[in-house]
Amino acid sequence: MTIAFIQLTKPTSLFVEVMSRWENDSALIPLIRPNQNQEELEKRQTITLEGIKERLDYLQIYQIFMNNKLIGEMNYMIDPPHLFKKENGTAWIGITIGEPEARGKGIGSQALRYLEKEIKKQGFHRIELGVFEFNTVAHELYQKLGYKEIARIEDFTYWQGRMWSDIRMEKYI
């Protein structure tokens, strides 16, 4: 199995098509975006080439490939307003392993380590993230890689008929 991480500089129609599929996948929606109710959970989003280009104004986006197939994406932004701990020079990260056959193979671990190195290369030393409390697989991965819980934001996202917390975690690199 060959894994590659490639920074997105010029989005392609293939990338937009794959991102649209992941952003609208009913199995992924609860994991990748907060929802306030069932209606939001069922809402679908339109991803466009222009929209991805706009994201590149504030996000560093990396594509994740397994055996030359795009299977995920990861990104970071610096000092977004939704940080729990407002510490200048903090990277907020997100990782999505979009293709089911790529999950559970350690790719998330590799991706996170790669992202940490890229962030450190840019001169930043703190990472913060949020993980929904029902996403125990991701929570355990972050703990295993040295992320520490700093807060829980109650009633943050809706899934399976109830509201769940967002667990905020940090790591100094």
- pLDDT averaged over the chain? 97
**Sequence-distant contacts of 115-118: CB under 8 A, at least 24 apart:** 115/62, 115/74, 115/76, 116/171, 116/173, 118/60, 118/62, 118/76
Give the separation between CA 87 and CA 95, rounded to whole angstroms: 21
CATH value at residue 21: 3.40.630.30
Q: Which residue has the tokens 């959970």?
A: 41
Structural domain span for residue 142: 3-172
Number of domains in the chain: 1
Cα torsion 130, 6, 141, 24: sign: positive
Q: Please report, in angstroms and rounded to a whole number, the separation of the first and last CA atoms in the chain.
A: 28
| pLDDT bucket at 159, cuts 50 / 70 / 90 | very high
Query: Is pTM, for the whole model, over 0.85?
Result: yes
Q: How far apart are CA 167 and CA 43, in angstroms?
A: 24
> Per residue in 83-104, pLDDT tens?
999 999 999 999 999 999 999 9
Give me the pLDDT at residue 122, please: 97
User: Helix 107-121 and helix 136-144: axis angle, to 10°?
Assistant: 50
Asked whether the beta carbons of 168 and 128 are under 8 A apart, the reply is: yes
Residue 128 pLDDT level (bands cut at 50, 70, 90): very high
**DSSP 8-state symbol, 119:** H
